[in-house]
Amino acid sequence: MSSLLSKNEVIRHREFRFLGMGAVTSNQAELKGEGVIPSLWSNFYANNVLERIPNKINSSIIALYTKYESDETGPYTIALGTEIIEGQAVPSGLEEWVVPESKYVVFTTRIGPVQEVVVETWQEIWEWSKYNERAFQSDFELYDLRSVDPMNGQVDIYISVK
């Protein structure tokens, strides 16, 4: 186990509303190159989704993993968007989710190329999951000001736990 894991502690994160665009996938499909995550990110940027979201809390991007059918081996929904204040009409092509209050362990990537460090940290999370009980409720990656430079960024990954 890496030293990073020993620094992680369980926190409680409040419920929040999320607006974004989503798709169903599985880790198996993603690892085989048959997944949707790369095209979802491309569409997110090409269609200026963040700019189309009304009532944003801030300019951070959230990658939400939710609606798990089982665990990391089954299908789940991934959605890209951001936290919102409730009460606005949902723009066409977007969907709203309520992320319930939950306990999380937060994994912080090292600083580096975002695509590389996020995948590396998920591999660490899957190893950590062998010895710790995930809730498979809603997990999310937080892309804030630390990840503005895609070649020199840092991301927090929130993993819901029981």
pLDDT 10s digits, 85-127: 987 788 999 999 999 999 999 999 999 999 999 999 999 999 9
- Token digits of residue 14: 């409040």
The model's pLDDT over 11-30, given as tens digits with 9 standing for 90+, comes to 999 999 999 999 999 999 99
Residue 7's pLDDT is 52
Phi-psi region of 93 (alpha: psi -120 to 50; beta: other; left: phi over 0): left
**Domains present along the chain, CATH in parentheses:** 3-161 (3.20.80.10)
Q: Give pTM, 2 decimals.
A: 0.93
Residue 89's pLDDT is 85
Average pLDDT over residues 123-134: 93
CA distances from 44 to 7, 25, 36, 50, 90 (A): 33, 16, 12, 8, 16
Distance CA 141, CA 20 (A): 14
Distance CA 37, CA 35 (A): 6
Residue 1's pLDDT is 33
DSSP annotation of 134: B
Using CB atoms within 10 Å of the CB of residue 70, give its burial: 0 to 12 exposed, 13 to 18 middle, 19+ buried.
exposed
Distance CA 49, CA 23 (A): 14
DSSP annotation of 91: P
- Residue 38 pLDDT class (50, 70, 90 cuts): very high
Query: Which of 4-8, 17-21, 131-135 bottoms out in mean pLDDT, i.e. has the lowest?
Result: 4-8
